[in-house]
Amino acid sequence: MNRGSPVIEVRDLIKNFAVSSGFFGRPGTFLRAVDRVSLLIRRGETLGLVGESGSGKSTVGNCILRLLQPDGGQIFFRGRDLAAMNRRELQTIRGRVQVVFQDPLSSLDPRMTIKRIVGYPLTVSKQVRGAEVEDRVLAMLREVGLGKDHLHRYPHEFSGGQRQRIGMARALITEPECIMLDEPTSALDVSVQAQILNLIHDLQKRHGYAYLFITHDLAVVRHISHRIAVMYLGLIVESASKDTLFENPCHPYTRALMASAPRPDPFNRQDLAVLPGDPPSPVHIPPGCRFHPRCSSVMDVCRLEAPPRVRIAADHEVACHLYPST
Ligand SMILES: Nc1ncnc2c1ncn2[C@@H]1O[C@H](COP(=O)(O)OP(=O)(O)OP(=O)(O)O)[C@@H](O)[C@H]1O
Ligand code: SF4
Ligand SMILES: [Mg+2]
């Protein structure tokens, strides 16, 4: 497959969650965490998914990984609808689409050696046995900057950065095509973060992985992405190539995020939690444009009608009444 060919395509994905207790609502009430999200993740490219806490980023990733069952929409792997696949085919896809989580320590079993942790996906899928597992694990550890000395050690013996390298090795051992990276560096010191970002980038150059990189750090998303989708309360409000988005941010939410983070530098953290107005909650989604209570450009129509998603350039879409469809 060539660079740029679609690996994962998400069309109109919907995911609802039951709101459990009486505090937010009656039993049987649902919140919509993801609302008709469409994305394309291409070979050799990184799609950055950025938005404040609770905007639905991880829920999108977990639906792609089939850790969550979507309530609507379609997910295609190399053009094939996951919903139309049988159990065996889905099992194969599991190896092709992998994940690296934010907190390497809680996602690595403390009682297992690195050899078992990294080799586990191979032994589960029964692709490889015996000495070959060790050879493959060792090759993978070398890819991520670790070595033979580390094989028989346990997660607690490693630093945060090394643990994230182990998490990467475990994700890569099944030779995946697509990797979800869910805040993979936000638990790390900034200097270590830069090393891990470089590793993630180098591995992509070597192997052509398609990445979905989830973060609420604008500097990180700018450093690592080819294209960026901005999420607000379950919706993609703007998507574009990285350069277009940073040169010409159009949605007032994207602009507000950028205004709040004037120096895009991966050596400085730039979390997004500094916007004025109430933090968004999918339990109480405002009518019309859901950003309107916090928008400095709000118009009457914004309180009544949700704006459609409009293509304003070849690789640039915005959902805002300032950009009417023609
Ligand atoms: N299993 C669940 N049950 C009920 N509600 C959930 C569940 N998982 C997520 N949610 C809700 O769905 C919304 C989106 O959550 P999600 O974790 O996808 O956001 P996020 O963008 O990844 O946030 P963060 O940056 O904090 O990780 C939130 O309101 C969250 O409370
Ligand atoms: S639709 Fe209106 S309220 Fe929403 S972002 Fe655009 S201008 Fe602001
Ligand atoms: Mg998340």
Q: Does position 287 have pLDDT exceeding 60, yes or no?
A: yes
| Position 297 in a domain | no
| Position 216 in a domain | no
**Stretch 127-132: mean pLDDT:** 80
Q: How far apart are CA 40 and CA 230, in angstroms?
A: 14
Reported as a single tens digit per residue, the pLDDT across 86-108 is 988 888 888 899 999 887 777 88
Confidence at residue 92, expressed as pLDDT on a 0 to 100 scale: 82
320 lines ligand 2 (CB under 6 A): yes
Confidence at residue 273, expressed as pLDDT on a 0 to 100 scale: 44
Q: Does position 272 have pLDDT exceeding 80, yes or no?
A: no
d(CA 237, ligand 2 centre) in Å:
10
Indicate which CATH number applies to the domain containing 144. 3.40.50.300
Confidence at residue 145, expressed as pLDDT on a 0 to 100 scale: 95
For 18-27, 117-126, 145-154, 241-250, which range has the lowest pLDDT when averaged over its residues? Answer: 18-27
Report the number of distinct structural domains present in the chain. 1
**Average pLDDT of the chain?**
89
| Position 118 in a domain | yes
76 lines ligand 1 (CB under 6 A): no
Confidence at residue 37, expressed as pLDDT on a 0 to 100 scale: 98
Nearest CA to ligand 2 atom 6: 320
Atom of ligand 1 nearest to the CA of 62: 18
Atom of ligand 1 nearest to the CA of 19: 4
Candidates 121, 98, 101; CA nearest to 8 is 98
289 lines ligand 2 (CB under 6 A): yes
| Position 127 in a domain | yes
| Position 183 in a domain | no
Tokens of 37: 């999200």
Amino acid at 232: Y
User: How confident is residue 322, by pLDDT bands cut at 50, 70 and 90?
Assistant: very high
Tokens of 200: 């993630």
Q: How far apart are CA 224 and CA 264, in angstroms?
A: 12
**Stretch 210-239: mean pLDDT:** 95
Q: Does position 21 have pLDDT exceeding 80, yes or no?
A: no
Tokens of 226: 């080819």
Reported as a single tens digit per residue, the pLDDT across 206-217 is 999 999 999 988
d(CA 138, ligand 2 centre) in Å:
52
DSSP 189: -
Reported as a single tens digit per residue, the pLDDT across 61-84 is 999 998 999 999 999 999 999 989
Candidates 151, 185, 324, 178; CA nearest to 268 is 185
Q: CA 279 → CA 152, 232, 313, distances in Å? A: 46, 11, 30
Q: CA 121 → CA 18, 138, 175, 210, distances in Å? A: 32, 14, 11, 19
Residue range of the domain that includes 113: 79-176
How many residues are given for the chain?
326
**Stretch 221-240: mean pLDDT:** 96
Helix (H, G, I), strand (E, B) or coil at 198: helix
Q: How far apart are CA 46 and CA 40, in angstroms?
A: 10
Atom of ligand 2 nearest to the CA of 297: 7
Q: Which of 232, 251, 295 to mutate to test the pocket of ligand 2 (most atoms within 8 A of CB)?
A: 295
| Position 169 in a domain | yes
254 lines ligand 1 (CB under 6 A): no
| Position 36 in a domain | no
Tell me how far apart the terminal alpha carbons of the chain are, to the nearest angstrom: 36
Ligand sitting nearest the alpha carbon of 323: 2
| Position 95 in a domain | yes
Q: CA 268 → CA 186, 189, 194, 261, distances in Å? A: 11, 10, 10, 10
Q: Does position 174 have pLDDT exceeding 80, yes or no?
A: yes
Confidence at residue 2, expressed as pLDDT on a 0 to 100 scale: 67
Confidence at residue 87, expressed as pLDDT on a 0 to 100 scale: 87
Confidence at residue 252, expressed as pLDDT on a 0 to 100 scale: 95
